[in-house]
Amino acid sequence: MPVIEILPAATGSPAARAVQVHVQASGSYLVEVRFDEGPVSWRVDDRTSTSNHLVWVGTDDPLTLAVESNSKTPVTLRVKAFYLGSDVPIDELMAQLPRWSTSTVQTVLETTASF
């Protein structure tokens, strides 16, 4: 399951709300990060964006975002992590497929946090 950790901003910011967001999704091959309310600006390293959507590939290390919002409305962060395979047994389902077929199983887990 992806994990979202929201911490106070490391440095002072003129924004109404500034936080540091850590997203961990070990084992996933793709993570979609979406801010439902805006406008927000977020920064990874030296890159800043005002987009409400981010796709993160290569998820062995956690993603850390510096996020700022000038709105007083709470911001909801939605994270979807995509994994190959399934923790749920699918052998019975696979036995029903024709012998000539191949399958790919993808598990999608979603979590949210607000600040």
List per-residue pLDDT tens for the chain, 115 residues long: 899 999 988 666 666 788 999 999 999 999 999 998 767 888 888 888 888 999 998 678 889 999 988 888 888 999 999 999 887 888 888 889 898 988 788 999 999 999 8
Was domain 3-114 assigned CATH 3.30.70? no
pTM confidence score: 0.81
Domain locations along the chain? 3-114
Residues 66, 17 contacting (CB under 8 angstroms): no
Note the Cα 91 to chain centre separation in Å: 30
**DSSP assigned state of 95:** H
* pLDDT score, position 12: 67
